[in-house]
Amino acid sequence: MNKKIIGVILVACILMLAGCGKVKYPDLPDNPIAFEMGSFEDTEHDEALFGTLEYNGRTYIGFGTISNAYKQSDLDQCIGYIVMDKNSSSVPDPNNTDTRVYTLAGDDHHNFLMDYDGIGEMNQPNIWRAVDTKGKDIEIPAFIDDLGYEFWK
């Protein structure tokens, strides 16, 4: 009986490890965008303050994260990186390009962006949504988990 239990546990561990494949993120382009963080105040909902990214004349704020069903094929391309906050207590490193910004495959209108810093195995990418899509019926990719911010309701 113990050999059967050990065998089942061993097979389960192998299957779990096989499912934890690492997504290969596209490299920075030759001329990446250096995204400066901005801010957006949601005066409708308790004056919540959101960090923002600007891309192609559109403002993006936090929307969600990635579900477990995320695949490398869901990424389109790397478009740049987020510049470290110049107002932080640490000294900014202008060469730090770790937090990269990506477009998503199948999102031809770029309603969403994703950032990922690649630090740590369990770190989740963040999904940003264009503010001008609020109240519009847009397709939200199945691999995005909405974090339920009041602004988007």
Q: pLDDT tens, position by position, for the chain (153 residues)?
A: 565 555 445 555 444 444 445 567 777 888 999 998 888 887 777 667 888 999 999 999 999 998 876 788 888 999 999 886 555 544 445 556 678 999 999 999 999 999 988 765 556 889 999 999 999 999 999 899 999 888 888
Q: Is 55 exposed, middle or buried (0-12, 13-18, 19+ CB in 10 A)?
A: middle
**Hey, is 79 helix, strand or coil?**
strand
Q: How far apart are CA 34 and CA 14, in angstroms?
A: 41
Q: What was the pLDDT predicted at 5? A: 54
Q: Is 17 exposed, middle or buried (0-12, 13-18, 19+ CB in 10 A)?
A: exposed
Sequence spans of domains, the chain: 23-152
Q: Judge contact between 95 and 85, C-beta under 8 A.
A: no
pTM of the model: 0.76
Q: How far apart are CA 61 and CA 53, in angstroms?
A: 7
Q: What was the pLDDT predicted at 13? A: 46
